[in-house]
Amino acid sequence: MTMTLTFHKYQGTGNDFVMLDDRAQQFDTTDYRLVRHLCDRRRGIGADGLILLRNHPSYDFEMVYFNADGYVGSMCGNGGRCTVAFARHLGVMQDRAHFLAADGPHEAHVDADNIVHLRMQDVLGQQEIDEMGVFLDTGSPHLVRFLPASTLAELNVFAEGRLLRNSERFREKGTNVNFVEGPVADDQPWQVRTYERGVEDETLSCGTGVTAVALAASRRGATSPVRLRTPGGDLQVAFQTQPDGSFTQVYLSGPAVRVFGGQIDVPSLT
Ligand SMILES: N[C@@H](CCC[C@H](N)C(=O)O)C(=O)O
């Protein structure tokens, strides 16, 4: 039996999402085949992930994020900013929101230029640093690899990222992998390309990824707010550094855009 679903498509610096208004909580979150189908760029709508916006008794809304592989993921920074824009589109909030995501509560506000400022969880304690890079959790796990100048553009992020994500250390739980090149001048952004777990490919941008990069880059002299350039556009990360190595007041800021909306006929999937 074919069913019809109403959807909205959003993107934040090129990281794109199918958004569903699931305030009635009817979507089966275990239906990985359906999520995978909707995210399929040939047979479905096409996206890096899918997000449900749901009612929650204690928050303005809840965001439930799935990676394109069909499974519920951890926090998605660009997806969080897009969910805020979607909630505003639906009239669930105006300029400020307090919502729940996989990693806990988040605050967000939208400024006069429609830039969404999303508060991320504090990153507590010292980060793991070894020959593989800097490993930290910004709501999702991230490995940050700093590269020599002028090597990022030519890097095969898919091949290198996949290798690291499937290395013995990360194989079981997986990790996102960010490749970074420092700014060419003081007024220039850090450049980042990311291989995403759950998409299992390079995406145009990753919000929790650039957050991890900004925090790791602060150990190399970057000061808040840090500007970051991804293949899909520019983001900014502000934070406070604590004496024990923790980061607090972490804000991810950037655009979140509604691209289109529509209906899709979904065949029964087996
Ligand atoms: N694109 C996201 C990151 C999503 C989480 C990730 N793929 C995972 O499950 O580890 C972002 O903008 O943060």
Give residue-wise pLDDT tens across range 93-126.
999 999 999 999 999 999 999 999 999 999 997 7
Is there an atom of ligand 1 within 6 Å of 140 CB? yes
CATH 3.10.310.10 for the 128-249 domain, yes or no: yes
* Residue minimizing CA distance to atom 3 of ligand 1: 76
Task: Identify the pLDDT of residue 56.
Answer: 98
For residue 270, pLDDT beyond 90: no
- Please tell me the distance between residue 114's alpha carbon and the centre of ligand 1 in angstroms: 22
Residues designated as active site = 76, 206
Is there an atom of ligand 1 within 6 Å of 206 CB? yes
pTM: 0.97
Is there an atom of ligand 1 within 6 Å of 67 CB? yes
Residue pLDDT, tens place only, 56-96:
999 999 999 999 999 999 999 999 999 999 999 999 999 99
- Please tell me the distance between residue 103's alpha carbon and the centre of ligand 1 in angstroms: 12
When the candidates are 3.40.50.920, 3.40.50.300, 3.40.630.10, 3.10.310.10, the CATH number that belongs to 3-120+256-266 is 3.10.310.10
- Please tell me the distance between residue 207's alpha carbon and the centre of ligand 1 in angstroms: 7
List, by residue range, all CATH 3.10.310.10 domains of the chain: 3-120+256-266, 128-249
For the chain, the first-to-last Cα distance in angstroms comes to: 12
* E-strand stretches of the chain: 3-12, 15-21, 49-56, 59-67, 96-101, 104-110, 115-119, 128-130, 133-137, 141-146, 176-181, 190-196, 201-203, 226-230, 233-241, 247-255, 257-266
Give the SS3 label for residue 245: coil
